Structure 1
Amino acid sequence: MAQKPESQTSSVKGSGKVVDLSQYRPSKKPEPLPVTFHRRELDTILWLYGRMVGDGEWRDYALDHMKDRAVFSVFKRAGEMPLYRIEKNPKLAARQGAFSVTNNAGMVLKRGHDLKQVLKVFDKKLKLVEK
C-alpha cells in the first residue's frame, strides 16, 4: 500500500476546528418565482383560444412567465406580431385589476379584477346587415 504524503495526512489529523461556511460564502437572496397563470385562469384563456381557432380568427399562441407578469400572446400567423396580449400583473391587482387585454398597438382594450369579465371583450357583437 502506498502511503499518503505528509501534507495531506497532517491536515486531516490536525483539523479539530469547526468552521461555519456561511461566513465565507456570499449570501444570495433566492430569485423570486415568475408570475404564472393559475390552472383555472389558464383553462378560461384556453377555452376562449379554442373557440377563436374554431372560428378561424386565431392560429397560434405564446405563453411567457416573467418576474413581474404573465402574458398569453395570440397570433394570426406565427411569424407576425401578436394580435392580442392577455396579461396578468399582480402589482396592479389592488388598483385597476390584475388582468388586461392589449391589442397589437399597445392600447389596453379592457382591464379588471375578474378574468372572465375582461375576456368578454372578445365576445362577438351583432352587426346590422342591410339588404
Structure 2
Amino acid sequence: MSKIVRLVEYRRGAPHVHFSRSEMNALLSLYSRRVMRGEWRDYAIDQHDGTARFAVFRSSFERPAFIITKQLKGAPRTASLIPPDVQFTVMAGRETLSQSTSLIEALAVFDRPGLAASLRMGGTS
C-alpha cells in the first residue's frame, strides 16, 4: 500500500545541521594533535534535532571530555543563497567553555594554558 506524502509537510522537519569539510578538517586537526599528546583516545560524531555534535573522549569507556556543537541561531532563512546563522559551543560536562559564530574562535579555548589542569581540579567529566 502506498502512502501519499506532501513535500511541503515533509520538508518542514528540523533543519539538517552538519559540519562542513573545512570545519571537519579543523576538528580532526585538533583531535589528532591531542591524540599525539596522549590526551584524547576516541571521538564520536552525532547529528540530531538540528544540532551537530563532535564529542571527544579520554577513554572509550568514559563520558565525553569535551563536546563541540554546531546549531542554528534563530529561524532558518528562506533564501537558499544566504548561509544560515550558526553558533558553535565547546562544553566540558555541563560547563560551557566557549561560544562563537566561528568554529576557529570557539576552538581557541583549547589553546589556553592550563585548561586541562583546571578542568581536572573542577572535576568535570
**TM-score (normalizing by structure 2):** 0.71
Distance in 2 between residues matched to 1:39 and 1:47, nearest whole Å? 12
- Tell me which of the two structures has the higher relative contact order, counting C-alpha pairs closer than 8 angstroms and 6 or more residues apart: 2
Flag structure 1 segments of 5+ consecutive residues without an equivalent.
Answer: 1-23, 127-131
* Per-residue deviation, 1:60: 0.1
User: C-alpha separation between the residues in 1 aligned to 2:68 and 2:22?
Assistant: 15
- The match for 1:48 among 17, 22, 30 is 30
SS in 2 for 1:80: coil
Query: How many Å apart are 1:91 and its aligned residue?
Result: 2.4
Q: Is 1:98 paired with 2:87?
A: yes
TM-score when normalising by structure 1: 0.68
User: CA 1:119–1:26 in 2, change beyond 3 Å: closer, same or farther?
Assistant: closer
Q: Name the Cα RMSD after superposition.
A: 2.2
- Give the SS at the match of 1:25: coil
1:118 maps to 2:111: no
Partners of 1:111 and 1:49 lie apart in 2 by: 19
Letter in 2 for 1:118: A
Structure 2: stretches of 5+ with no match in the other structure: 75-83, 115-125
Tell me the percent identity: 34
* Higher strand fraction (1 or 2): 2
Amino acid at match of 1:110: S
